[in-house]
Structure 1
Amino acid sequence: METWINDLMETLGAPGAGIAVALENLFPPIPSEVILPLAGFASANGRMDLIAALLWTTLGSVVGALALYGVGALFGRERTLAIAARLPLVKVADIERTEAWFLRHGTKAVFFGRMVPIFRSLVSVPAGVERMPLPVFLVLTTLGSALWNTAFVSAGYVLGDNWEEVTGYVSVYSKAVLVVAAGAVLWFLGLRLLRPGRGVRRGNR
């Protein structure tokens, strides 16, 4: 993976870093903790301009997020609820409570979610399902992504040949997020097994 990302940047420069980040949003297994510090390292070596690296990686983040927003908008609320009603251990009421939460806190979720591994990609889907105003989504996504990208590109730039140290710290952070997420899933499944039921679907909006 590192070789492929490096070759892409070697061939295309800063736009290559932007393409890699856009793909990382669509395919989370592609690690931003490798792409961004590597772009910073390439900037330190003079292979690309630092400002260009920051601009292109942020543009890539926005493009990838927009694609997932489009998936959510295309999928729509009714289809999401219909699929949820067929899933085991899932109540429509749970989905509706999540929907209500997102309507109240969606702006914070989109902004801060850009700085949380895995969630940073997935948060675009409910934003699309709920049809968050596109200008708001774009501003929040751009700002959150710019902060995340700047931190890691700058770290790679400063560390130079030791840029891989960044991946170790992010790996610990990512594992902590996964543990919390796994705990939340187990808690949810435990509640469903103890209190089975489909829930009641409210009327359409």
Structure 2
Amino acid sequence: MDGWIIRLIEQGGYWGIAALMFIENVFPPIPSEVIMGLGGVAVARGTMTFWPLLIAGTVGSTLGNYVWFLAGDRLGYRRLEPLVRRWGRWLTVRWADVEAATGFFQRHGQWIVFALRFSPFLRTLISLPAGLTHMRHGRFLAFTFAGAAVWNTLLIIGGHWLADYVKTMDHLIGPVIVAIVLLAVAGWLWRVVTWKPD
């Protein structure tokens, strides 16, 4: 099988999944769709099981989002703004984005932390305004964990279904995954290059 990426996921085990999902939420170019989708493929192959995979991925997601929450909660507006203006290019985040997300969070309430776990673009960014508005830590962690669990469940099921569906085209899984990762990295690089400060 041309599945060296899947083997990497399998060799890293559940700790590796948790670490990758943590990194994905701190540094967006690594897509969770690939990580948990490949986990679903591993479940279909019998080298991983559903519940430990779901827990590992969800814990990693929650902790990664908690980093952004703590940044907002501890730094506050005055100290965070100069950091975003200076280093925002590499995270492809402008201060205007932070202000817009904060306004969105305030308009829609704390449940938006749960709901946006299903958004590929806003699920990490919303953690920052949740911290800036000093949402209770326990509530943030609970909503984040619940939302990430639902999202990760869908990704695992999707990966499982994909593995079953393409058994006759097994040799295509590796190249398709590589293409997805390369597109994600290329998209991030494009955002870095075209990024403009406020």
TM-score (ref. length: structure 2): 0.68
- 2:90 corresponds to: none
- Structure 1 position 114, deviation (Å): 0.9
Look up the match of 1:114: 117
- The reply on whether 1:156 has 2:133 as its aligned counterpart is no
> Structure 1: any 5+ residue segments left out of the alignment?
179-191, 193-205
Tell me whether 9-18 or 116-125 shows the greater mean CA deviation: 9-18
Match of 1:200 in 2: none
Residue 148 and residue 5 in structure 1: after superposition, are their counterparts in 2 closer, same or farther (change >3 A)? same
Paired AA for residue 65 in structure 2: A
For the residue of structure 2 that corresponds to 1:119, the secondary structure is coil
**Within the alignment, does 1:46 sit opposite 2:46 as a pair?**
yes
What one-letter code is carried by the residue in structure 2 that aligns with 1:19? Answer: A
Q: Which amino acid aligns with 1:14?
A: Y
8 A contact 1:28–1:118 mirrored in 2: no
Cα distance in 2, alignment partners of residues 25 and 82 from structure 1:
22
Relative distance call for 1:113 and 1:6 in structure 2 (3 A) is farther
> Percent of aligned pairs with the same residue?
34
Amino acid at match of 1:125: L
Q: 1:81 to 1:44 in 2, by over 3 A?
A: closer
1:74 Cα deviation after fit: 2.6
TM-score (norm 1): 0.66
Say if 2:58 is the partner of 1:58.
yes
Aligned residues between the structures: 166
| Greater C-alpha Rg | 1
Question: Hey, what does 1:128 align to over in structure 2?
Answer: 131
Q: CA RMSD in A?
A: 3.5
Residue 152 of structure 1 deviates from its aligned partner by 0.8
Q: 1:12 offset after TM fit, Å?
A: 2.7
Distance 1:128 1:160, change over 3 A: same
Q: Which amino acid aligns with 2:20?
A: A
Residues 92-150 of structure 1 show CA distances to partners (whole Å, capped at 9, x for unaligned) of 9x94x864542342413211111111211111111111111011101110111011100
8 Å Cα contact 2:81-2:95 kept in structure 1: no
User: Within the alignment, does 1:140 sit opposite 2:143 as a pair?
Assistant: yes
Alpha-carbon deviation of 1:58? 0.6
